[in-house]
Amino acid sequence: MRLNPDRILEKLEEYDKLGREIRELDRVIYKLCNKILAILEIDEYSHEFEKAIRILVREHETIDEKLLIQTLEDTTKRAIADIKSDLYDTELEIPEVAQEEIAQLREQLERAKNIVREQFPIISKSLTRLRELLSKRDELFDKRYNLFGIIDGDLVTLSKLVKLVYKCIKYASEG
């Protein structure tokens, strides 16, 4: 059996290329999520809403107005609970700053619900596009992972190291 180490380097280049494609997709996904949030006029706790929208898109094949509004309501409730839990147990009433923040979240929710009702077709197209991008990212991620059995930031266990060496020998021996 003759080994060709250049095959390993070719696979490594493919691995790096997939990583670049994933990072570019992450950038596009982030922009699209921000566009959706901008349409909904969500700026308070936007990171939490972005995560909720990503989860919504991944878990539901079809999204209607009711489901999107429910997600916005649930995320707002969690944000309010976070604000309240950040307060010290010794405080008997919610400080004015926290009350204002909670009021802003509730106003934001009402605005977003009205926007969903008025502009759902536009929002729906963006959600569909987001689903496509997330799906493509998942495919690229799986393909990249399967090349060597590890990803950036993984802790390298003995098992993963043996699999990595095995894959490298397999690639080097391919004709």
Write out pLDDT tens, residues 25-83.
999 999 999 999 999 999 988 999 999 999 999 999 999 999 999 999 999 999 999 88
In a domain, 97, yes or no: yes
pLDDT in tens, 134-175: 999 999 999 999 999 998 888 999 999 999 999 999 999 986
pLDDT digits (tens, 9 = 90+) for 74-130: 999 999 998 888 776 555 566 788 889 999 999 999 999 999 999 999 999 999 999
Does some domain include residue 1? no
Contacts 24+ apart (CB under 8 A), 19-26: 19/144, 19/152, 21/140, 22/137, 22/140, 22/141, 22/144, 25/133, 25/136, 25/137, 25/140, 26/137
Q: Tell me which residue has tokens 């929002």.
A: 123
Pairwise CA distance, residues 2 & 45, whole Å:
58
Q: Which domain holds residue 15?
A: 6-173
**Whether pTM exceeds 0.75:** yes
- Give how many domains the chain has, as a whole number: 1
pLDDT of 96 reads 80
> Under 8 Å CB-to-CB from 45, ≥6 apart: which residues?
75, 79, 105
Q: Which residues contact 143 (CB under 8 A, 6 or more apart)?
A: 18
Question: CA angle, 59 as apex, 24 and 81 as ends, to 5°?
Answer: 95
